[in-house]
Amino acid sequence: MKKKMDRKIAQQSNAKNRRSFERPLVALALFTATAMYGEGFRNPPPGAFNLGRAGGRIAQVDDSSAVQQNPANLVDLTNIQAQLSPTVVYISADFRSSSGQSASTENPWKLLPNFFISMPLANDRFAVGLGVTVPYGLGNEWNKNSSAFTQPTGILTYQAPYYSKLTTINFNPSFAMKLGDKISVGVGLDVMWSDLEFKQFLSPFIPNLQAHVEGDGVGFGGNLGITWRATERQRFAVTYRSPITIDYNGTAQFENYPGNPSASFNSQITFPTIVSVGYGFQVSDTVRLESDFEWIQFSQFDTLPINIGSNPANNPLGVPSQKIPENWRDTFTAGFGGDWQFAENWVARAGYQFYQSPVPNSTFSPTIPDADQNVITFGLGWKNGHSSLEFAYGLDFYNERNITNDQNPAFNGRYTFNVHLFSFAYRYSF
């Protein structure tokens, strides 16, 4: 009897409300797009050295985190070096619509582990290294009790996920060699695993009905670095990181629907090409300065394919597969940084970097909102024998976004942000 009643409820719900389900689920898929990359979602530079000198970390990077920043500089390290460098991010956002509804994010603290190891070879003319990093990701969870997400009247309740999370782990083995006394080159392989998860309420006609979508995949790419020691005190560096395409495969489960059916889910994300240049100058025996510029090819992300299995038994809502327009634009970052060895075992670092957002107003979303950023960073390092400890802090000034012409009018409103970055490092040189 209970199974017959459940089937009857499902059939009536489908006949009356299928159209109301389709649009929110497509909206859900669309707005996970901003959880993947963009300067708000390209995680902070891994390593306390690199956060402390955020705007100057390409030409003068001098620890094992060179695996990630510029593998050519691995040949400068004369000892085997291992480094554990977790990053902690505090990120929160607030939204207020023109109608007065509002929402705030929850659980703002995020942990990003990073690890590096490097080894010199053949009289320091060659070197190898390995980096394990979290280059993209973070996550976002809106308070479901806020007015903008309250069922059934919230303006965002059925238009955007209340929970989204992107996880990446990149394995980056690298090799470097000296070409004469002035030029070194380094190459690396990127093997990146990624998991994408989001949750969204679907319809006011069935309380608590939601989609829980999760998929993962692996992609491959490479990176290259070249450092030219123009003079004893000057360095020029160029780095290149190739795009990585990941095909996500998983399930879309319809929770709190009779039988909790689940359909297949797949999508594809291309993480961007990044080209960086840096110039470093050794001012004195204790002071170094550097300025960097990055170009990021976000325009590769012009659409987001969303494919949901069409079997009626698994997809009773009849959600169609679609390609969602995103139209992101190429962007840049620019900044400077430096360090000062003010005592025998102590070094202070500082930096500034500007990040341009790739997300236009027309495709902006509240999933993990993004904006232009100005980041000021500071760092402190201490070395004693084989061990080193470092700490870095970044104060991230996000611009406020006032959206008035979004492709989804529900997303129009004012978005404000509060972001703090912390990085710690323990490094051991054998």
**Per-residue pLDDT reduced to its tens digit, 334-347:** 999 999 999 999 99
Strand partners, 351: 337, 377
Q: Residue 394: which of 41, 14, 47, 122 has the closest Cα?
A: 47
Phi, psi (rounded to 5 degrees) for 19: -65, -35
Average pLDDT along the chain: 87
Q: What is the CATH number of domain 2-429?
A: 2.40.160.60
pLDDT value of residue 30: 36
DSSP secondary structure string for all residues of 84-151: E--EEEEEEEEEE-TTS-EEEB---EEEE--EEEEEEETTTTEEEEEEEE--B--EEEB-TTSTTT-T
Helix (H) or strand (E) holding 57: none
pLDDT value for 415: 94
**pLDDT of 394 strictly over 80:** yes
For 270-303, the DSSP string reads EEPPEEEEEEEEE-SSSEEEEEEEEEE-GGG-SE
Higher pLDDT, 122 or 2: 122
Sequence spans of domains, the chain: 2-429
pLDDT in tens, 291-310: 999 999 988 888 778 788 77
Q: Report which of residues 365 and 28 the model is more confident about.
A: 365
Beta-bridge partners for 334: 293, 354
Asked whether the predicted pLDDT for residue 23 surpasses 80, the reply is no
Q: pTM of this prediction?
A: 0.87
Q: Using pLDDT thresholds of 50, 70 and 90, give the confidence band for residue 39.
A: low
> What integer pLDDT is reported at residue 83 of this predicted model?
96
Mean pLDDT of 9-13: 42
pLDDT score recorded for residue 40:
44
Residue 404 has pLDDT above 70, yes or no: yes
Q: How confident is the model at residue 41 (pLDDT cuts 50, 70, 90)?
A: low
State which amino acid sits at residue 424. Answer: F
DSSP tally for the chain: helices H, then strands E: 3, 23
DSSP state of 44: P
When pLDDT is cut at 50, 70 and 90, the band that residue 412 belongs to is very high
In the structure encoding, which two tokens stand for residue 407, read together?
């492709």
Give CA–CA dist 168/46, Å, rounded: 13
- Residue 371: phi and psi, rounded to 5, are -160, 165
Cα–Cα distance measured from residue 102 to residue 97, given in angstroms and rounded to the nearest whole number:
6
CA–CA separation, 357 and 355 (whole Å)? 6
- pLDDT surpassing 60 at residue 379: yes
Please tell me the number of Cα atoms within 13 Å of 239 on its side-chain side: 28
Answer yes or no: is pLDDT of 3 > 60.
no
Model pLDDT for residues 74-106, shown as the tens digit of each residue:
999 999 999 999 999 998 999 999 889 999 999
What is the band of 326 on the pLDDT scale with cuts at 50, 70, 90? Answer: confident
Q: What is the pLDDT of residue 33?
A: 37
User: pLDDT higher for 73 or 203?
Assistant: 73
Given a cut of 50, is residue 363 above it in pLDDT? yes
Between strands 262-271 and 234-241, the pairing is unpaired
